[in-house]
């Protein structure tokens, strides 16, 4: 099977991309080889397929929010070709049997490459470590209790030792429950103004400090999910300077929003970790720009309309992001002139691939899997929830004018959007 993508803009040149048996066979100004099918990119930009190390597809158990099918279609709509699914579904992916079932479902229902995390401990909250060795053998991409912090140091220490033995990362949702105090947004002036309970940033940074000591002791690859405070950025910077095997992700919403922007009791602005202060947001941007933070991940978290209505006191935590991430990063970081497109793609493709040692995602090179997306970078558009393929419409960015609309997405050479 041979196919051709012609008139695609790459590195300021119009190129044709020959795809043979799912892999990139040639990138050149002209390709004369007979092919079975042709896609005309019409001068739009081609980029490597994006990689998101943090999504929630809610399937099984919460299919009314999202399914593997709708989540992966939404991912393709956002230009993503590989995503890592969190294990907090129902049942939780905390046994080899549950993990094997998830792998089967991901392959059956996903239109893109859906890799699977397994839980660190039973039901995400127990101190009983899961069978890390068996789930590693079944293909786990890493281990995480995302949605919950690991409260006991010894549980995390044992998990790190076992993960290190199988050469897979621990991905940490860092949150000390004793410092939450029922908070629904960041503790501080904005929470006081709105009369809403706040959660201290110490809940993140205090547990992160503990984990970094344990990571140093075990040598495990420790990855920090959705980092949100300036103290966490500084801890990470120190850990990297000491040579620890540590990586971190930041979400587009923590880069672009802060609690000073929450003008009313608005559940669309409720996420965990919460939007922090403008000073925290500035530290996250600085950390991403100087390499302290390695990558951008969406924490795509779909909920029903009912779950994201009413007061922040009772609404669910989390927003969708897989269909808006590239456009937001491109508009606010590349179009604005802060970084070039190659740097944004490093955050959303290269660094995730390298950090998690992914071998079946492409970087737009001859011989790579033909995982790529065609993007219109030149014409602005307005983010519209009616365009989302996700079941979740819970985004605070609806209505924002951005650049970077996905025209088409290919996985292993097959057009999936």
Q: Which residues are catalytic?
A: 299
Q: Any known ligand binding at 56?
A: yes
Tell me if 167 is assigned to a ligand binding site: no
Residue 88 assigned as binding residue: yes
What does the block give as tokens for 42? 């019409």
In 3D space, the residue among 409, 412, 392, 416 whose CA is nearest the CA of residue 62 turns out to be: 392
User: What is the Cα–Cα distance from 247 to 79, expressed in whole angstroms?
Assistant: 23
Provide the 3-class DSSP secondary structure of residue 185.
strand
Q: What are phi and psi of 85, to 5 degrees?
A: -90, 135
d(CA 268, CA 391): 15
Residues 6+ apart with CB under 8 A from 11: none
β-partners of residue 222 are 170, 246
Known binding residue 145? Answer is no
Round to whole Å and give the CA distance between 47 and 206: 38
d(CA 126, CA 252): 31
317 annotated as ligand-binding = yes
3-state secondary structure of 64: coil
DSSP letters along 317-329, please?
Answer: S----TTTHHHHH
The token pair that represents 200 in the structure block: 């201290």
Distance CA 65, CA 56 (A): 10
Residue 57 annotated as binding?
Answer: yes
DSSP structure string for 4-23 = EEEEEEETTEEEEEEEETTE
Q: Which residues of 223-235 are buried (b: 16+ CB within 10 A; e: fewer)?
A: bbbbbbbbbbbeb
Nearest to 88 by CA among 21, 6, 173: 173
**Which two structure tokens, joined as six digits, stand for 24?**
């990139």
Q: Known binder of ligand: residue 299? A: yes
The pair of structure tokens assigned to 366 is 């001859």
Q: Is 54 annotated as a binding residue?
A: yes
Find tokens 């621990």 and name the residue: 170
Q: Hunting for tokens 């669910």 — which residue is that? A: 316
Q: Is 272 annotated as a binding residue?
A: yes
Return d(Cα 183, Cα 179) in angstroms, integer. Answer: 9
β-sheet with 143-144: strand ranges across: 143-144, 170-172, 222-224, 246-250, 295-296
- What DSSP element (H or E) covers 237? helix 230-241
Find out whether 173 is annotated in a ligand binding site: yes
Binding residues: 54, 56-58, 88, 146, 173, 226, 272, 299, 303, 317-318
Binding residues for substrate: 56-58, 88, 272, 303, 317-318
Binding residues for Zn(2+): 54, 56, 146, 173, 226, 299
């Amino acid at each position: 099977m041979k196919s051709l993508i012609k008139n695609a803009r790459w590195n300021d040149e119009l190129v044709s991309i020959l795809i043979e048996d799912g892999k990139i066979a040639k990138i050149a100004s002209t390709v004369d080889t007979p092919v079975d099918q042709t896609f005309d990119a019409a001068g739009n930009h081609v980029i490597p397929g994006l990689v998101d190390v943090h999504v929630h597809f809610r399937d099984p158990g919460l299919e009314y929010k999202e399914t593997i099918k709708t989540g992966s279609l939404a991912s393709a709509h956002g230009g993503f070709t590989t995503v890592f699914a969190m294990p907090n579904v129902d049942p939780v992916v905390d046994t080899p049997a549950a993990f094997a079932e998830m792998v089967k479902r991901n392959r059956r229902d996903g239109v893109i490459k859906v890799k699977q995390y397994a839980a660190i401990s039973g039901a995400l909250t127990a101190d009983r470590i899961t069978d890390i060795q068996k789930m590693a053998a079944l293909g786990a991409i890493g281990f995480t209790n995302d949605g919950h912090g690991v409260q006991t140091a010894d549980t995390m220490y044992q998990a790190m030792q076992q993960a290190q033995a199988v050469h897979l990362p621990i991905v940490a949702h860092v949150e000390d429950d004793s410092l939450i105090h029922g908070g629904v947004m960041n503790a501080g002036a904005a929470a006081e103004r709105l009369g809403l309970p706040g959660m201290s940033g110490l809940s993140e940074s205090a547990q992160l400090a503990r984990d970094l000591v344990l990571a140093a002791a075990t040598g495990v690859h420790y990855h920090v999910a959705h980092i949100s405070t300036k103290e966490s950025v500084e801890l990470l910077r120190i850990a990297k300077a000491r040579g620890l095997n540590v990586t971190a992700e930041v979400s587009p919403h923590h880069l672009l929003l802060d609690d000073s922007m929450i003008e009313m009791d608005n559940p669309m602005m409720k996420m965990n970790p919460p939007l922090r202060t403008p000073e925290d947001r500035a530290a996250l941007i600085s950390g991403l720009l100087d390499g302290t933070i390695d990558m951008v991940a969406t924490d795509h978290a779909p909920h029903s309309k009912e779950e994201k209505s009413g007061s922040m006191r009772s609404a669910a935590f989390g927003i969708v992001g897989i269909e808006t991430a590239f456009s937001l990063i491109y508009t606010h970081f590349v179009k604005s002139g802060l970084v070039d497109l190659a740097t944004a793609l490093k955050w959303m493709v290269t660094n995730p691939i390298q950090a998690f040692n992914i071998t079946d995602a492409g970087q737009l090179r001859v011989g790579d899997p033909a995982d790529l997306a065609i993007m219109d970078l030149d014409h602005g558009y307005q983010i519209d929830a009616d365009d989302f393929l996700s079941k979740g419409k819970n985004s605070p960015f609806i209505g924002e004018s951005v650049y970077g609309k996905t025209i088409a997405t290919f996985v292993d050479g097959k057009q999936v959007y």
